[in-house]
């Protein structure tokens, strides 16, 4: 389980390399994504609070990167943060996301990116629930829900 100290270490010294990379031209990303998805994921934008498709979603499944399809977050780690964005306590595995120091807008924050295609996801904060204490504050436009398969009865 990652903690805030792990996040800071990874942001300062680099995250583990993914097992593969997805790289496309800007034109290819624009052709694949909606304008909002492109703005959020490729231009490091942010959707307005409380407007995202997954802000209040509770369906079981995995949330994957909207750009490359890499599973990033499990619905079991999603919680109601009251911030207006989907919030998770952990990525599905340590190398699913990478952390990068973000000093934009006169603040110091830690950006969360897909480790496979560098899609901007959101930011991580140390004010989440136990046991990790993390709040990965993620834009709905950067993810897609892959619903859990029903078990045969």
pLDDT, tens only, 108-152:
899 999 999 999 999 999 999 999 999 999 999 999 999 876 554
142 and 121 in contact (C-beta within 8 Å)? yes
DSSP secondary structure, 65-76, as one string: ETTT--EEEEGG
**pLDDT tens for residues 10-49?**
999 999 999 999 999 999 999 999 999 999 999 999 999 9
CATH topology of domain 4-14+23-147: 2.170.150
Paired tokens of 102: 């973000």
State the residue for tokens 């560098």: 118
Which residues make up each annotated binding site?
65, 68, 114, 117
**pTM of the predicted model as reported, rounded to 2 decimal places:** 0.91
Query: What residue segments make up the domains of the chain, in order of their start?
Result: 4-14+23-147
Catalytic residue among 66, 67, 137, 141: 137
Confirm whether 137 is a catalytic residue. yes
The CA distance from 72 to 65, in Å, is 7
Which residues make up each annotated binding site for Zn(2+)?
65, 68, 114, 117
Could you tell me which residues are beta bridge partners of residue 13? none
Residue 75: alpha-carbon gap to chain centroid: 12
Which candidate, 143, 138, 136, 142, places its Cα nearest to that of 7?
A: 136
The CA distance from 53 to 104, in Å, is 26
What's the pLDDT at 69? 97
- H or E element at residue 124: strand 120-125
């Amino acid at each position: 389980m990652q903690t805030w100290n792990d996040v800071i270490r990874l942001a300062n010294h680099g995250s583990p390399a993914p097992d593969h990379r997805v790289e496309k031209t800007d034109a290819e990303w624009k052709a694949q994504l909606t304008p909002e998805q492109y703005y959020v994921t490729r231009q490091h934008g942010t959707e307005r609070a409380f407007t995202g498709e997954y802000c209040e979603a509770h369906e079981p499944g995995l949330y994957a990167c909207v750009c490359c399809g890499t599973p990033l977050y499990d619905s079991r780690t999603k919680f109601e943060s009251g911030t207006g964005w989907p919030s998770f306590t952990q990525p599905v595995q340590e190398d699913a996301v990478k952390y990068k120091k973000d000093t934009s807008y006169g603040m110091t924050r830690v950006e969360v990116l897909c480790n496979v295609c560098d899609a901007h996801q959101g930011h991580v904060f140390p004010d989440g629930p136990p046991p990790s204490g993390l709040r990965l504050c993620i834009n709905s436009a950067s993810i897609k829900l892959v619903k859990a398969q029903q078990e045969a009865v």
